[in-house]
Amino acid sequence: MRTPSSGEVCYLEGWSATSIAGYLETTRTRVSETLARWEAEGWPGLADRSRAPHHPARKVDLKAMAAIRRLQTNPELGEFRIHAALEQMGIYLSPSTCGRILALHRTLGASHPTTSNQQHKPQPMPFAAARRHQYWSVDVRYIEDHGLETGKPVYVISILENFSRAILASAISPRQDLTAYLVVLGAAIETHGAPEVLVSDGGGIFRANHAKAMYAALGIDKRQIDQGQAWQNFIETHFNIMRRMADYHYARSATWVDLQVAHERFFHDYNQQAHFAHRERTDDRHSPAAVLGWVQGAWCDPADLDRLFRLRATRVVTANGAVRFRHWRLYGERGLAGERAAVWVDGEALTIEYATTTLAQYRVAMETDGHGLREVADPRFFVTGYASPQPFLAPLDETEWHPAQRVAPYRPRRTRIEEGRQTPLPEPDGEVGIG
C-alpha cells in the first residue's frame, strides 16, 4: 500500500488548499486540482500529468519535501549534508535548493532550530595528501551525550585516509587503551595495506613503544601535529561531520547495541555520501568510498601482521561461547560459536574481541615467566549484537557460574613407532629379550 506524502498528510490533518500551496510553494489551483483527482480516482489520480518537459529526479516534489523534513529532525544537518543524504536515496537536489526548503520548514515551525556556525578563514593543511594512502590520520573522540545507564563517556577511535577522506576503520569502544587502538589499526592495515605516514596528536597510545615498533617494522613514518593545533589533523574535520550526522542518534541510544548500530550506520553513510571536499571533481567521484576506490597501501603479509601484533592471539569460539587461552577457558559470547575471536593481553588486561567489537575483558596476573596466566578475575562482559537468541538453561542460572576456569594442559603428543620395528616383549625375569 502506498504511504501518504507530506501534502496528503497535511490535507488529512485538516490543512486548507491555501496552506498546502504555501507549504509546497505552488498555486492553490494546482493543489485543488490534485486533491480533486485524488478524491475521484484515488492514488492513480496523483500521478504527475504535466506536459512540460522536466527531469523527475531533480524536481522538488512531495517525496523530496517529506524526505528533507525527516532528515531535518537532526538539527545538526546543514544544506550540503541534506543534499548528500538525498543523493544517497536517489533524490537529486542542489545544496542551495535544500537550503531553501530547510528555511521554509523553519519558518513553518516544522523543524528544530539549528546551531549557529562561526565562519573562519581556512589555513593551509600541513598533511594534505597528493595521492591515496600517503597520509593516514588517527584520533580518539569522546562521546558523553548518550543514553547508557553507566553515565560514563564512550570513545570513538577512527582512522581516516587523507586524500579520499574515507574512514578506513572505526570502532566505538568503552575504553581508549593501547589494545583498543591496535584493534582499529590492525583492521585498517589488514583491509587497506599500510600508509606512508601516520599522523596523530601526542596521545600516549599513539606513542607507546609497542606501537612504535610496529610503525618501524611496517615502514610507516609516524608524524605528530604541533601541540595545541588540533586543526592540523584531518580527522578533526571528520569529527565535526560525525557530530552533525551521528551525535543526534548517539544521544538516543539507550543500549550498547543501539550505540553500535548507530555508529555502523554512520560509518557506511559517511563513506557513501558526497563529501564537500570532492564537490568540484570532474570524474563523477564525489564520495570518499568512490575516490578511494580499489587503491591499496603497502602490502603486508598476514603472517607478518600476526607476528607484529604480538599482543594478539586468535582462538575459535566453542559451542559454549568460550575460548581456550594459556590453559584457561574464558567466556566470550555463545552467539559467535565457531567464529574466530582475538585475545589481547596488555599489562593486567585481557580482552576478547570479534572484528572491532569488544566481547569481554578480564583482569589477569602473569606467571614469573611472563607467558602463563597465574590468575584471572573481575570478568566484564559487553552487550553486543552477536548475543545468542537462546538463553542459558535454567539450572545454569540457578547455580554459580564461572566464566574463567583453569583447565589441564594438553597431553603431550605420542611419538610414532618407527615403521618396520616392533617393541620387544620383556622376559619373565624382567630382562628384555634380544629378539
DSSP-assigned states of every residue in 264-287 = HHHHHHHHHS--GGGTT-SSS--S
% of the chain beyond a pLDDT of 90: 19
Q: Are 328 and 341 in contact (CB under 8 A)?
A: no
3-state secondary structure of 389: coil
Q: How confident is the model at residue 343 (pLDDT cuts 50, 70, 90)?
A: confident
pLDDT score at 54: 47
Q: Does the pLDDT of residue 362 top 60, yes or no?
A: yes
% of the chain beyond a pLDDT of 70: 80
Instruction: Please state, rounded to an integer, the average pLDDT across all residues of the chain.
Output: 80
Nearest Cα residue to 246 out of 233, 235, 257, 259:
259
Q: Does the pLDDT of residue 106 top 80, yes or no?
A: no
Q: Are 113 and 106 in contact (CB under 8 A)?
A: yes
Nearest Cα residue to 187 out of 159, 219, 164:
159
- 332 Cβ contact list (under 8 Å, min separation 6): 317, 321, 322, 323, 341, 352, 354, 359, 360
Residue 273 exposed, middle or buried by CB count within 10 Å (0-12, 13-18, 19+): buried
Domain with CATH 3.30.420.10 in the chain: 135-292
- What angle is formed at CA 81 by the lines to CA 91 and CA 127, rounded to 5 degrees? 130
Which CATH code is given to the segment(s) 135-292?
3.30.420.10
Q: Are 24 and 62 in contact (CB under 8 A)?
A: yes
Nearest Cα residue to 376 out of 339, 353, 343, 400:
343
Q: Does the pLDDT of residue 356 top 80, yes or no?
A: no
Q: What is the spatial distance between Cα 55 and Cα 53, in angstroms, rounded to a whole number?
A: 7
3-state secondary structure of 413: coil
Predicted TM-score (pTM) of this structure: 0.59
Which comes out higher in pLDDT, residue 291 or 54? 291
Query: What is the H or E stretch that residue 322 is in?
Result: strand 322-325
Alpha helices of 222-360 — where are they, by DSSP H? Answer: 234-245, 247-250, 256-272, 288-292, 302-308
Strand-pairing partners, residue 381, are 360
Q: What is the spatial distance between Cα 132 and Cα 360, in angstroms, rounded to a whole number?
A: 36
Q: What is the spatial distance between Cα 63 and Cα 84, in angstroms, rounded to a whole number?
A: 16
pLDDT score at 55: 46
Q: Give the pLDDT mean for 246-270.
A: 89
Cell numbers standing for residue 423: 617393541
- State whether the Cα torsion 166-171-176-182 is positive or negative: negative
The 10s digit of each residue's pLDDT in 297-328 is 998 887 777 777 766 778 899 988 899 988 89
- 119 Cβ contact list (under 8 Å, min separation 6): none
